[in-house]
Amino acid sequence: MTHTFLYLASQSPRRRELLTQLGVAYELLLADDNEDAEALEVVLPGESPDDYVQRVCALKAEAALRRRERRALPDAPILTSDTTVCLDGEILGKPADDADAARMLAALSGRTHRVLTAVTVVSALGQRHALSVSEVSFRTMTADEIAAYVASGEPAGKAGAYGIQGRAAEFVERIDGSYSGIMGLPLFETASLLRQAHLRF
């Protein structure tokens, strides 16, 4: 069976932009108020960043599938994605506050870190997963530059306290990997998964 649209279980405006860029028709399938989405993102003891991001992405997909069934929505593939930034094996999640964002950015300054983005597509054909791994090198940033970037509000809600498609681009010296993956949805891997799920776009 061929599908003409998918459900996107993500609040990220960047993921919406990237799907639109691919020419994929989608409908949002967001969590109910009583769903605890944050609970899915708790890191397990001793869990590696690679295992973590793939586990969370798969859990999001399972939650979205239950949501679709509960709402008795038409059958169509479901797409979930999760992005994690890690430095020296430590997961840098979304900053708790401005001070936490400044701490993360200071740690990333002058260093190379990894950005992991997992993608899961659930359809009648089963679950399919992909993992995009990129390396991003930041130039050395001054304390004033970090403070100004934090004050812009951009780090809030972003893994690693930055968004590569925004003002933080001026700190990025080099990228090795997938630019769209660093943004939050690796298009090469995503397109492949969607074709396997018989989505027409």
Q: Which residues are catalytic?
A: 82
The amino acid occupying position 48 is S
